[in-house]
Structures are given as C-alpha cells and as structure tokens.
Chains A and B, each alone.
Chain A
Amino acid sequence: MVDISKSFFGVKALENINIQAYAGKVLALLGENGAGKSTLMKILSGIYKKDTGKVLIRGEEVNIGGIKAAEDLGITIIHQELSLLPNMTVYENIFLGNEKTSGFGKLNKAEMKRQSADLLQKIGCSVEPDTIVERISVGEMQLIEIIKAVSKHSKIIIMDEPTTALTDVETEKLFAVIEKLKSEGIAIIYISHRLDEIFRICDDVTVLRDGKLIGSAKVSDVTKDQLITMMVGRELEEQFPYRKEETGKAVLKVENLCWKDKVKNVSFEVKGGEIVGLSGLMGSGRTETAKIIFGEHKKTSGNIFVDGEKVDINSPKDAIKYGLAYLSEDRKKEGLVLGMSVGENMTLSNLKNLEQAAFRLNKKEENKLVSEYIKKLSIKTTGSGQKIKHLSGGNQQKVIIAKWIMLSPKVLIVDEPTKGIDVGAKKEIYDVLNELKKTGKAIILISSDMPEIVGISDRVIVMHEGIVTGELNREDANQENIMKFAVGIENKEI
C-alpha cells in the first residue's frame, strides 16, 4: 500500500501511509488504539475507500471497490469480533456464501462436509464438521475463520487481535497454523497489542501513531522497548507500577460459593488496600465467580460478607447498594450503551444522587461531575455529549471505570480491564487502580494477561474448573507458578 490517506469529516485518520507485506511472511501492524491500524486494514479489505494513494498486489495497481472486490483479489480480514453464525454448523459456516451445489441448486452437503473435514485436519483442529458453532470454543472459532479464508484461496490474510480471547494452548495452536500458512506462501498482516506475540511469529513490523507512519523494521532488528517507544512516542519507565499499601480488614469475604457446575466452593477474602489477582484459564470460573458476587448469577449456595456482615445479593442493584462494583470483561455487550453519550454512560449508575424535586435530573450538576472525571482520568473526548461509540477502546474503558468510582464503592471487581487497550492507556488504568488501592478500596483483578496479574497484584488466587486451586503471595506469584495451578497440576487447597 503506497501513500494511503483517508479523512473522516475533515479529520485526517491516515496520512501517507506505506506498508509492505510479503508472501510467506507475517507483517505486524502495531500502534495504540486510534493510531489508524483498523482504518488502514478496512481500506485494504474494501470496507472503506481511500482518499488518495495506491494499493499494489504483486506490483500491479488494483482497485478495491468493495468487500467483494477485495475477496476476489484474495484479501480476507478476520475481525476481532468473530463473524461466524453461532446456530449453524462448522461446515455451513466454512462454505457460507460459497456453497457447493450439485444439479438444480441442491446443496452438496456430503462434499462440503468432506472438504471441511480435510481442511480441519490440515490445520490440526479436532472439531467435527457438523458441530454447531456455538458449542465450540472461541479458539476453535478463530481457526474456523482461518479455514474460511483458506477455502476462499486467500493470498493475504489480515488478523485483527486474534489472540485476545484465546487461552495459551489455543494461542500456540494458532501460531502453528500461522507457520503453516507462511509455508504456503500466504502473506499475513497481524494486528496485536501483545508484543511477545510479535516477537514470536512476525517477520516484519510497521508502527503507526496518530494516523502517521512511524517506522518499519525487521522484527529481528528491534527490541521490545524500542517498539513501545515507537508506539507511544515516549519512554515507558515502568509498565506495571506497583506500590505496597497498608491493608485494613477484610472488606469482602466469600464462603463456599457455588453456581451450577461452573463454580464449586469458592472461598476467599479481599482486604481494603490490596489488589487480589484472580487468575485461571478461560472457563475456570473466574468471571462466573465475579458475577455471582455481583448478583448477576444467582448462587446455588454459599455466603457473601461485606465489612464482616452477611449480605443478601439478588441483583446487580443490590450489589451496588452494598458498595460493590463490577467492570465487565465485555465492554461492548455488558458495559456500554453505545447509542448514549459519554456523560450518560458515566452517570448511569449514579442518577439517583442527581435527582431533585419532581424526579427531575440535575443536568448541570451531572455535566460538572462528568467534566470532573473526564479530567481526572484524562479521557480523550470532545466532551460529555459526545457519543461513546466514537471513543477509542481505552477511553471507553476509562468512562466505565469513572462510572464505578463515581459511586465510591468499597469493592471494585475489574474483569479484563485492559483487554484490547493500547500500552499507554493500560498504564493509566493501572495508575487508577493503584490510586484506588491507596484510598483503601478492595480490588479484585481478573485477567488473562499473566504479566499484568503478576505485575500489579498483591496476592493471586488461581482457579481451575470452578475450584480455587491455589493462592500465591506477590513474592511467589510468577507465570510458571500460576500456570501450574491454572492447569490443575498442583492443588493447594481442596
């Protein structure tokens, strides 16, 4: 892609960007959220039209008029939010829009199943072609998306943060598949915030910042620190700031929590002034535990204590009343109301305090409060009235964090707080958590990002298949120890 530029409503989103992807190699596209990676890839895959510049494939200029044109040129994008149809089978998804038919337009199911089985086997995926997609794991879905791309004979595959929802095992599998695709001469453009992955599987790297090209290099020629500097434009002295605080009494205590067969006899406590990491692989019951505490799931048995008193929580509303707050792992589905403004999202849990006579909301006070928190958390927005869907992921996350800390909760449960967020914003979120810790809040940090858990937790609780398998002090909490408990090899407390 040569000299690509694109503006939205007069705002330059991309300025003279050049990138080159080679057959049989993986190009990493790096940059903070809002740097222009997605816009660039949407131009390549025909979703947006470029303003100026050229796209060349094998040296020939091509015109990408739309998604279909891009597909015909062998360009496929695998979006972060997977686009499989959950209620259809694996093989139906693979051949969607590309169905094999025999005479009279009758679907040739046997042929499609056979070919699917071949493709699945080739890629090392053990799923049966007629399994319904909603029954398979996110990692397997990712592989199916790749098979879909391969079955269309794609020459260029774009992967947008493919590993965010994957377990380590699934990630390894994906990497193996990427190696295989490379050996078949497919060019891959790989977008990720996880620098370790870049060094594992990418050959070249291009960094964008604020819609501008910052630089391109061979991965073997750069260091992680150099990349971070290129991305954020400043040195990051400390990626995981940690400070020990004086801890108080147990603010939250849970005893023998059970829910269906997903959470079994979970007990732990969190003191004021500490961050407790809740770790475990996907499906270990971490999020479910948080949702039981927050009243979203009705516990089958067990007790919850806040400040030493037993509380009866039947809904998120109850939980908030007792001073709990929960930041969901799924920002779009369970955190934001995308059609509403920054301000409306931020005050959604706090409207009762803004009510005056005749049920009238004090909008002046509301705006003041919102502006205050926009400043406090340095949220990048044009103001309280801006639609939240126009904010970057990191800034959206900060709005939700503001929503909760506005309530001054006693316990804050944050579930994957930095998922899909750029390095700079991550650090800012850690700073906010540390600040809250300093004021004596009890914080539970749920995360799949191991360095993050190890980096900022005072204590780590590890779960495996619904059971707490271990607890580690900060001194002993390293990735190996956590992993042993997470995969259930070692078990301290049963």
Chain B
Amino acid sequence: MVINFKNFLLKYISLIGLLTLCIIIALISPRFLTVSNILNVLTQVSVNAILAIGMSFVILTGGIDLSVGSVLAITGAVLATFAKTGGNILPGVIAAIMLGAAIGLVNGLLVSKGKVQAFIVTLATMTIFRGVTYVYTGGNPISGLGNNISFIGNSSIFGVPLPIFFIIIVLLIAWYALNQTRFGRYIYALGGNEDSARLSGISTNRIKSLVYVISGVTAAIAGIIVTSRIGSASPNAGVGFELDAIAAVVLGGTSLAGGEGKVTGTIIGALIIGVLNNGLNLMGVSPFYQAIVKGLVILLAVLLDKKEK
C-alpha cells in the first residue's frame, strides 16, 4: 500500500504540484477561483501550451527547437499581411501554417540529414527568422488589421474563449498521435535509442524531420492566436517564448534526453506556469520578482522529479 501510494505520487507529481499551487493561490487571493479568472488564465496559457505541445514532440526525440518564437513572429506577420487586405482570412491562416511547416522542415532536414545538433540548427534559424521578420515588417508592427481576424483570439463559444478550444483540439490530436499510432511509438523509440530504432527498420531521419515540422506548425498556430488577440503583428512577438515552452515540457516531467514523457504532462506544465503568473499578478507581486519565482519553481520541480526517480 505504501509502495502504491508512492507510485501514485510519482506518477501524478506534476498534477499534484499544479493543484497545490492552485490551493495556495486560492487561499491567498479569493479572486483566483472565479470563472472569469480561470477562463482568463486558460486563454493566456493557450499560446505557450500550444507551443509546448509541439515542443514535446521534438524533445521526446531528444532534440530541441529554439526557433519557435521566431516562427511565431514571421507567421504572425504573414497572416497580418493577408488580414490587412480585409478579405477572407483563410488563405492567410493556411499560408501561415504552411510557412511554419516549411521552416520546421528546414530545421528537421538539417538535424536529420545534415546531422547538426538540434540546439545549433534551431539557434541559427531562430536568429535568421527573427531577422527575416524585421526585414519583412521593416521593424514596425503591422497593425490596422481587419475585424474579421479578431474572432480567432477574442470570440467565445458558450462563454468559453476560442483559444481554449484550440488547446483542446491540439492536445487531443497530439495525444492520439503519440499514444495510438505507429508514428508515436517511433518517436519514443527514436528518443529512447536511435541506433536500436534505426536497426529495427524505422526511418529515423523521416521521424526526426517530421517532429520539427509539427513544432513549426504549432508555432504558426500560436502566431495566429497572438496576432489575432493583439490585432497587430509585432516583429518582437514571441521573443523568449521558446524558453517558456521548454519549461512547460520539463515541468510536465518529460526528459530532455528524449524517449520519456507525456503530452498531458506538458499541458500541466504550461498550466503551472500560467497559474503562477496569474497568481503572482493577483497578489500584486512585481514582475521582477515574478521571474525569480518562476525560475525557482522550475528548479524545484526538476529536482523533485529527479529525487522521485
């Protein structure tokens, strides 16, 4: 029984962490547990959660994608260009997602066929596409977008903001892909042991390329949400977002070495970061201290995880 209880704690450590955090914040600030605040937290979490889900695929293979923040910016800018014309925004959405996928493919091919370390490849593309965004926008935000784009980020269905539905859809697809399909199994195998995976007949290069494409697509979706919510595309959008996404994945218990982790954990990781931000705001803690607290929580979570294992 004692062993079972320990296993239970171990398995749900990040969920328990999230609930504990919620309880503490609720006790300090009564405003936390109101419907409007919870919906607000979830909406704010949506961008990081979606980025982190894509990031999970990459990290599960033992890679990393630092370029997501820049992909978010350039895809947002492309969408804004389309939106400015005032017509149907579907072509803009498709163009943004295609561009995200294309950049992901470049990352993926460089990592798999080019055999360059993922950290280096995506550090380079992060810099390159930030630069491309500056060139493309001329350094100024693209604003004055038509009203027809605003619904993506700002409308609600039955009182629930649309971005929350996006999280759910992306999560469901990711969960299905990772747990119910051959592709998912190959990702875990590749992250667990690349040589064994290849010698088992898996096209490891193809799988590796695909996870970066996925990360590029989720970055584009995040770019669409950000642009729509703010109503403009800033060339500085998404700076540093890759780190929050990585933090969410790690907080969710996924190993940076690859092969181990769950996408449901990633969502919990993203929620921990979101709840923490919201709680600290509600308590009126200065943003300077917020950064310190966030960093400490990440360290604490990883240390706990290590100890349990």
B188–A351 CB distance below 8 A: no
List 17 additional contacts besides A337-B197, A338-B192; criterion CB under 8 Å: A316-B198, A316-B201, A317-B201, A320-B201, A328-B199, A333-B196, A335-B196, A337-B192, A339-B192, A340-B188, A344-B185, A344-B188, A348-B189, A349-B201, A359-B180, A360-B180, A361-B180
Q: Which of A316, A334, A359 contacts B181 (CB 8 A)?
A: A359
CA distance A355 to B193 in the complex (A): 23
For residue B174, give the distance in angstroms from its CB to the closest CB of chain A: 14
Q: Which of A317, A334, A354, A360 contacts B203 (CB 8 A)?
A: A317
CA distance A326 to B202 in the complex (A): 14
B193–A337 CB distance below 8 A: yes
21 A-B contacts (beta carbon < 8 Å): A10-B3, A296-B198, A296-B199, A316-B199, A316-B200, A320-B201, A326-B199, A334-B195, A334-B199, A335-B199, A337-B192, A339-B192, A339-B259, A340-B189, A344-B185, A344-B188, A349-B200, A351-B185, A352-B182, A361-B180, A403-B200
CA distance A316 to B185 in the complex (A): 18
CA distance A348 to B195 in the complex (A): 13
B203–A336 CB distance below 8 A: no
A336 closest partner in B (C-beta)? B196
CA distance A338 to B189 in the complex (A): 9
> How many positions in chain B have a CB within 8 Å of any CB in the partner chain?
22
Chain A CB count within 10 A is highest, among B182, B183, B196, B203, for B196
CA distance A254 to B260 in the complex (A): 40
CA distance A319 to B200 in the complex (A): 10
For residue A51, give the distance in angstroms from its CB to the closest CB of chain B: 16
Q: Which of B192, B202, B203 contacts A340 (CB 8 A)?
A: B192
Which residues 151-207 of B have a CB within 8 angstroms of A? 180-183, 185-186, 188-189, 192-193, 195-203
Q: Is A91 an interface residue (CB 8 A)?
A: no
Q: Is A485 an interface residue (CB 8 A)?
A: no
B203–A355 CB distance below 8 A: no
For residue A405, give the distance in angstroms from its CB to the closest CB of chain B: 14
Q: Which residues of B contact A (CB under 8 A)?
A: 3, 180-183, 185-186, 188-189, 192-193, 195-203, 259-260
A336–B185 CB distance below 8 A: no
Q: Is A294 an interface residue (CB 8 A)?
A: yes
CA distance A166 to B201 in the complex (A): 30
Which residues of chain B have C-beta atoms less than 8 A from A355's C-beta?
181-182
Q: Is A315 an interface residue (CB 8 A)?
A: yes
Q: Map CB proximity to B onto A353-364 as digits: 1 under 8 Å, 0 otherwise.
A: 011000111000
CA distance A326 to B186 in the complex (A): 19
A9–B3 CB distance below 8 A: yes
CA distance A453 to B195 in the complex (A): 27
Q: A335-B196, A339-B259 are in contact. Are A315 and B189 (CB under 8 A)?
A: no
For residue B207, give the distance in angstroms from its CB to the closest CB of chain A: 12
Q: Which of B182, B198, B260 contacts A339 (CB 8 A)?
A: B260
Q: A338-B192, A359-B182 are in contact. Are A348 and B203 (CB under 8 A)?
A: no
A327 closest partner in B (C-beta)? B199
CA distance A340 to B182 in the complex (A): 14
CA distance A252 to B186 in the complex (A): 29
Chain A CB count within 10 A is highest, among B3, B185, B192, B201, for B201
A337–B203 CB distance below 8 A: no
CA distance A200 to B182 in the complex (A): 51
A10 closest partner in B (C-beta)? B3
Classify chain A's interface size: 20 to 34
For residue B119, give the distance in angstroms from its CB to the closest CB of chain A: 20
CA distance A10 to B196 in the complex (A): 33
B191 closest partner in A (C-beta)? A339
Q: Which of B180, B189, B196 contacts A334 (CB 8 A)?
A: B196
CA distance A465 to B182 in the complex (A): 41
CA distance A337 to B61 in the complex (A): 13
Which residues of chain A have C-beta atoms less than 8 A from B199's C-beta?
294, 296, 316, 326, 328, 334-335
CA distance A182 to B32 in the complex (A): 73
CA distance A361 to B183 in the complex (A): 10
Chain A CB count within 10 A is highest, among B3, B186, B188, for B188
CA distance A334 to B198 in the complex (A): 9
Which residues of chain B have C-beta atoms less than 8 A from A317's C-beta?
201-203
A351–B182 CB distance below 8 A: yes
A361–B198 CB distance below 8 A: no
CA distance A354 to B181 in the complex (A): 10
CA distance A316 to B182 in the complex (A): 17
Which residues of chain B have C-beta atoms less than 8 A from A338's C-beta?
192-193
B203–A315 CB distance below 8 A: yes
CA distance A376 to B195 in the complex (A): 27
For residue A310, give the distance in angstroms from its CB to the closest CB of chain B: 21
CA distance A360 to B193 in the complex (A): 23
B189–A337 CB distance below 8 A: yes
For residue A442, give the distance in angstroms from its CB to the closest CB of chain B: 19
CA distance A460 to B282 in the complex (A): 78
Which residues of chain B have C-beta atoms less than 8 A from A333's C-beta?
193, 195-196
For residue A424, give the distance in angstroms from its CB to the closest CB of chain B: 26
Which residues of chain B have C-beta atoms less than 8 A from A361's C-beta?
180-182, 185
Q: What 3 A-B pairs are tightest by C-beta distance, nearest first?
A: A337-B192, A320-B201, A351-B182
For residue B250, give the distance in angstroms from its CB to the closest CB of chain A: 17
Which residues of chain A have C-beta atoms less than 8 A from B260's C-beta?
339
A337–B259 CB distance below 8 A: yes
Which residues of chain B have C-beta atoms less than 8 A from A294's C-beta?
199
Which residues of chain A have C-beta atoms less than 8 A from B192's C-beta?
337-340
For residue B172, give the distance in angstroms from its CB to the closest CB of chain A: 13
Which residues of chain A have C-beta atoms less than 8 A from B183's C-beta?
359
Which residues of chain A have C-beta atoms less than 8 A from B195's C-beta?
333-334
Which residues of chain B have C-beta atoms less than 8 A from A344's C-beta?
185, 188-189
Which residues 303-321 of A have a CB within 8 angstroms of B? 315-317, 319-320
CA distance A279 to B294 in the complex (A): 60
For residue A298, give the distance in angstroms from its CB to the closest CB of chain B: 13
Which residues of chain B have C-beta atoms less than 8 A from A334's C-beta?
195-196, 199
Q: Map CB proximity to B onto A282-308 as digits: 1 under 8 Å, 0 otherwise.
A: 000000000000101000000000000
A348–B202 CB distance below 8 A: yes
Which residues of chain A have C-beta atoms less than 8 A from B188's C-beta?
337, 339-340, 344
B260 closest partner in A (C-beta)? A339
For residue B144, give the distance in angstroms from its CB to the closest CB of chain A: 43
For residue A311, give the distance in angstroms from its CB to the closest CB of chain B: 15
CA distance A320 to B201 in the complex (A): 7
For residue A384, give the distance in angstroms from its CB to the closest CB of chain B: 14
A352 closest partner in B (C-beta)? B182
Which residues of chain A have C-beta atoms less than 8 A from B186's C-beta?
351
Q: A351-B182, A351-B185 are in contact. Are A337 and B201 (CB under 8 A)?
A: no
Which residues of chain A have C-beta atoms less than 8 A from B202's C-beta?
317, 348
For residue A347, give the distance in angstroms from its CB to the closest CB of chain B: 8
Which residues of chain B have C-beta atoms less than 8 A from A336's C-beta?
193, 196
CA distance A326 to B201 in the complex (A): 10
For residue A145, give the distance in angstroms from its CB to the closest CB of chain B: 25
Q: A339-B260, A359-B183, A360-B180 are in contact. Are A348 and B193 (CB under 8 A)?
A: no
CA distance A340 to B183 in the complex (A): 15
B203 closest partner in A (C-beta)? A317
